[in-house]
Structure 1
Amino acid sequence: MPLLEIENLTVEFATVNGRFKAVDEVSLTCDRGEILAIVGESGSGKSVSMLALMGLLPWTAKVTADRMSFDGTDLRGLSGRQRRRIVGKNMAMIFQEPMSSLNPCFTVGFQIGEALKVHLGLDRAERRKRTIELLDLVGIPAPEARLKAFPHQLSGGMSQRVMIAMALACKPKLLIADEPTTALDVTIQAQILDLLVDLQREQGMALVLITHDMGVVAETAERVQVQYAGQKVEEQPVAGLFDDPHHPYTAALLAALPERATSRRLPSIPGVVPGQFDRPSGCLFSPRCRYTTERCRERVPHRQGAMAGFALCHYPLVQGRPIGHPAPNRIANAAEEPA
């Protein structure tokens, strides 16, 4: 039984112009001790999906799901009080923008200690000892001296290490890292990713890594879920996804990686992610897809099976060729033309 299991999660937000579907029937699972990456560009519903799981969305959000289970507990019917007993203790999250995620009015020691007090009931001396251990664990030098530091006195990398320490305070079974290297220097990004993977292995927890960086996915994850415009469009083990992507969007993302360049100009994906008022009636990727047909524009695609990476596509790719496409040779010839 998976540690985390979500089926057909949908999140809608009330706006002055009607309801906007930010997450559209997304399903995912994560096993104990597994690293799952969720990738996609901005607006794909990656963060919103996990915030819905944590119960951290505003009142304007309408969350529905056929199943939302964590460690055998159905999260859908829990009250706020019941959910708070799980969130922060058994399930924790590292948020984007570490510089703005910490409360500027309280010291580092107080903020980490608060989680220890609420969830574990530790007294002041025990909280201090455990906080020092956590700061040392995440590689902060002179941890005892940092207890009284305020967030504005820390660098971006140091702030992110504090956020990781806070998330690990109660030894969670699941850690969600939402773009953990955003706004950090390149050298610091590598250090933070290495730290997360090392801690995940040492503590045996499951890790859901939200990112738009395919290089990060290749280095850290075991399985990948690709999202586009609020929908899950593909899911594969990492090796399979990089070797043979089955959805045109995934293939386009990988083709844009510099290390995969076949000419001096990197290929790009034309257009933008559809918003509230320009969502196609058929496949949501159809306005940007090089394989689009009338069928794609008019009919919602059905989900393929595991052999095709659960691709949400009328013509899933196999070794770069769209299966069942009415004109595969024409497309193949166009792809071989020099840029």
Structure 2
Amino acid sequence: MSLLKIRNLSVEFATATGPFRAVDSVDVDVEKGEILAIVGESGSGKSVSMLATMGLLPWTATITADEMSFEGRDLRTMPGRERRKLIGKDLAMIFQEPMSSLNPCFTVGFQIREALKEHLDLDRKARQARAVELFEMVGIPDPERRLKAFPHQLSGGMNQRVMIAMAIACRPRLLIADEPTTALDVTIQAQILDLLTDLQKDTGMGLILITHDMGVVAETAERVAVQYAGQKVEDQKVADLFDRPHHPYTSALLAALPERATERRLPTIPGVVPGQHDRPRGCLFSPRCKFADDRCREVPPPVQPRPIGLARCHYPLNVPAGAEEERA
């Protein structure tokens, strides 16, 4: 049984100019002990899809899915009280913006101890000891003193580490890390990623890593889901994706990596991710794709079979021998 299983997830936001579909028919699978990376440009729906899973989107969002289950429990019909017991304990998330996620009116120590009090049967002394232990784990010096600080008294990187400590406080079964190292310097980034992967190995938890850093993906993840304009356009194991990308968008992302550049000028992807009013009729990537033709521009592409990386494309790249029959 999958730890997290999502089928045909869509999220629409009500706006003054009409509905905007931020997530469009996305499937997600995470097994116990698996590290899944979700990559794509800003505006690809990576964070929104995971916030929908957590039940943390505002009332303006309309969420639909054929299936959304965590360890076999249906998240769509789960009562609010039961969901509150689950979120923060078995299913936790490291948010991208720590300064807007931490409460400025309470010390960071109070906020971590509050999570421990809500979900674990610990007395006050044990909660304090666990908070100190967590701060030490994420590399916060002088933890007893820092627990008494308010968020505005700490740097952005320090607040990010507080968020990570809070997310792993109750030893979750599945941890969603949304750009967990954005505000950290390079050496601390490596420490935090090592901490998350070590925790994943020790506890067997699943880990979803949302990131723009393909180097982090190559070093950390086991499988990669590539999203574009709210759709998942490819899903492969890490080594296979780097060796044989099937979707033109994935191929363009990898070609833009500095270490892969073969010319003096770094390759780029022209154009921008389509928004509410400029979404193409066919393939959403067609305005930026050098392989696109009239069919791509007019007809929504099919999802290719697993041997072709579930690529959402009319003309996938690097099709392996024998996979043509499955396409047919």
TM-score class, shorter = over 0.9
Deviation (angstroms), 1:159: 1.7
Identify the residue that residue 130 of structure 2 maps to in structure 1.
130
Indicate the percent of aligned positions where both proteins have the same amino acid: 74
Partner of 1:171: 171
The answer to whether 1:87 aligns with 2:96 is: no
Superposition pairs of residues 315-334 of structure 1, within 5 angstroms: 315-318=315-318
Question: Who is 1:43 aligned against?
Answer: 43
Q: Deviations over 1:87-131 (max 9, x none)?
A: 001000000122332222111211000011111243322211221
Matches within 5 A, 1:123-202: 123-202=123-202
2:13 matches 1:6 = no
| 2:44 maps to amino acid | S
Partners of 1:116 and 1:173 in 2: CA distance: 16
Give me the CA root mean square deviation: 1.6
Deviations 1:196-237 (A, max 9, x none): 222222222111000111111111100000000000000000
- Following superposition, the deviation at residue 194 of structure 1 comes to 2.4
Deviations along 1:229-276, one digit per CA (max 9) or x if unpaired, are 000000000000000000000000000000000100011101111111
Match of 1:210 in 2: 210
Contact 1:245–1:319 (Cα < 8 Å) also in 2: no
- Distance in 2 (CA, whole Å) between partners of 1:98 and 1:57 is 17
| Whole-angstrom CA distance in 2 between matches of 1:300 and 1:263 | 34
1:108 aligned partner: 108
- Please tell me whether residue 221 in structure 1 is matched to residue 221 in structure 2: yes
In 2, the alpha carbon distance for the partners of 1:71 and 1:95 equals: 22
Q: Distance in 2 between matches of 1:105 and 1:168?
A: 22
1:262 corresponding residue in structure 2: 262
User: Which stretch has the larger CA shift, 257-266 or 136-145?
Assistant: 136-145
Output the TM-score relative to the length of structure 2: 0.94
Q: AA paired with 1:114?
A: E
Aligned to 2:117: 117
**Regions of 4+ moved over 4 Å:** none
Deviations 1:258-295 (A, max 9, x none): 00001000111011111111111100000000000111
Aligned residue pairs total 322
CA contact (8 A) 1:282 1:299 kept: yes
Is structure 2 residue 231 aligned with structure 1 residue 231?
Answer: yes
Code of the aligned partner of 2:116: L
SS at match of 1:51: helix
Structure 1 residue 172: deviation in Å? 0.5
In structure 1, stretches of 5+ residues that fail to align are 325-339
Secondary structure of the residue aligned to 2:263 is coil
Show the counterpart of 2:245. Answer: 245
> Aligned-pair distance for 1:169?
1.3
Provide the residue aligned with 1:302 in structure 2.
302
User: Tell me, what secondary structure is at the counterpart of 1:318?
Assistant: coil
Letter in 2 for 1:169: A
CA distance in 2, matches of 1:79, 1:59: 17
Cα pair 1:11 1:64 within 8 Å, conserved: yes
Q: Secondary structure at the match of 1:225?
A: strand
The TM-score with structure 1 as length reference comes to: 0.91
Q: Match of 2:65? A: 65
Give the C-alpha shift of residue 319 in structure 1: 6.9
CA contact (8 A) 1:11 1:24 kept: yes
Change (3 A) 1:250 1:297: same
Q: Secondary structure at the match of 2:28?
A: strand
Query: Which residue identity lines up with residue 164 of structure 2 in the other structure?
Result: I
Amino acid at match of 1:100: S
SS of the residue aligned with 1:317? coil
* Aligned residue in 1 for 2:282: 282
